[in-house]
Amino acid sequence: MMVFTGNANPDLARRVVRQLHIPLGDVSVGKFSDGEISAEINENVRGKDVFIIQPTCAPTNDNLMELVVMADAFRRSSASRITAVIPYFGYARQDRRPRSARVAISAKVVADMLTVVGIDRVLTVDLHADQIQGFFDIPVDNIYGSPVLVDDIEDQRFENLMIVSPDIGGVVRARAVAKSLGVDLGIIDKRREKANHSEVMHIIGDVEGRTCILVDDMVDTAGTLCHAAKALKEHGAAKVYAYCTHPVLSGRAIENIEKSVLDELVVTNTVPLSAAAQACDRIRQLDIAPVVAEAVRRISNEESISAMFR
């Protein structure tokens, strides 16, 4: 087994190999003067089981191309198997054609790209939509960040705890966390009562005096979480925290968080935090490397991945 990384999240890769007690592989990934991506492997990988750790976070297109070019380099260098470890899978939100709109299904395009360049297997963390696994013609293992989040929630010893899904689409994820903790589940149902009227947030569940934890797979601009936190506080919640696997934090996310009533946002390191995010005292980051490392070890040893979450 050999583990390599591009420029997307080298810190996570270093943490993973530390867990596996192996060195990080030597590959040079850079750009030509015109911006084209280049990759050169600096050690022998013939017959090796290769893992490339590369989330396709911002800059999304550069990081995706790094992954594709690296995979091609490993295939041409006779690696026996190539597994793309993509902790955060970019383009995952474009997974359908809503109302038969004339749009691309970009998640399928990316799946095809990864398959064509010779990647044998994909490992992801908390895919935005589970059905994306069906876009691939190669095996996809989607592991969960929830054990890391649940462990931290238990360590905090919150009183009068309640898990809340910020929207209907996240109910399954929130229910799983609530079940693990043995606590109540709340749901925020966003709906527009009439055309040209602002969205109304209906709270399903009694949050009066509760410590509410919003659970989601990612936080992008943080608009949904901040509005949800406001609605919960207006309905009597004592404290509101948010736990999300992927800290995308694009646009005005940091500003939105700092201006919100959200008490704390807890994320993992599937995506590296910007300097502004690191400076924000309301954002705390957990390490998901042990979970990723265990999945990598199991794949390399041909062991069960599902057994990790039983």
What confidence tens digit (pLDDT) does each residue in 253-286 have? 999 999 999 999 999 999 999 999 999 999 999 9
Segments in 220-308 forming alpha helices (H): 223-234, 253-259, 275-279, 289-300
Pairwise pLDDT comparison (142 vs 100), residue with the higher score: 142
Per-residue confidence band for 192, with pLDDT thresholds at 50, 70 and 90: low
The rounded mean pLDDT for the chain is 95
Per-residue confidence band for 100, with pLDDT thresholds at 50, 70 and 90: confident
Task: Say if residue 195's pLDDT is above 90.
Answer: no
CA distance 278 to 225: 19
Task: Say if residue 198's pLDDT is above 80.
Answer: no
Q: Give Cα separations from 225 to 13, 58, 164, 165 (angstroms).
A: 29, 21, 11, 10
Task: Say if residue 193's pLDDT is above 60.
Answer: no
- Catalytic-role residue among 190, 230, 233, 259: 190
Task: Say if residue 196's pLDDT is above 70.
Answer: no
Region(s) of the chain under CATH 3.40.50.2020: 2-144+290-309, 146-286
Active site residue 239: no
Per-residue confidence band for 206, with pLDDT thresholds at 50, 70 and 90: very high
CA distance 13 to 221: 26
Task: Say if residue 142's pLDDT is above 60.
Answer: yes
Task: Say if residue 77's pLDDT is above 80.
Answer: yes
Is 60 annotated in a binding site? The answer is no
Is 93 annotated in a binding site? The answer is yes
Domain 2-144+290-309 has CATH 1.20.1510.10: no
Is 221 annotated in a binding site? The answer is yes
> Taking Cα atoms as reference points, which of 164, 171, 121 lies closest to residue 143?
121
At 209-220, the pLDDT tens digits run 999 999 999 999
At 8-67, the pLDDT tens digits run 999 999 999 999 999 999 999 999 999 999 999 999 999 999 999 999 999 999 999 999
Q: What is the pLDDT of residue 258?
A: 97
Which CATH number is correct for 146-286, 3.30.70.1340, 3.40.50.2020, 2.40.50.140, 3.40.50.2000? 3.40.50.2020
Per-residue confidence band for 201, with pLDDT thresholds at 50, 70 and 90: confident
Task: Say if residue 132's pLDDT is above 70.
Answer: yes
Is 167 annotated in a binding site? The answer is yes
Mark 265-288 as b/e (b = at least 16 C-beta within 10 Å).
bbbbbbbbbeeebeebebbebbeb
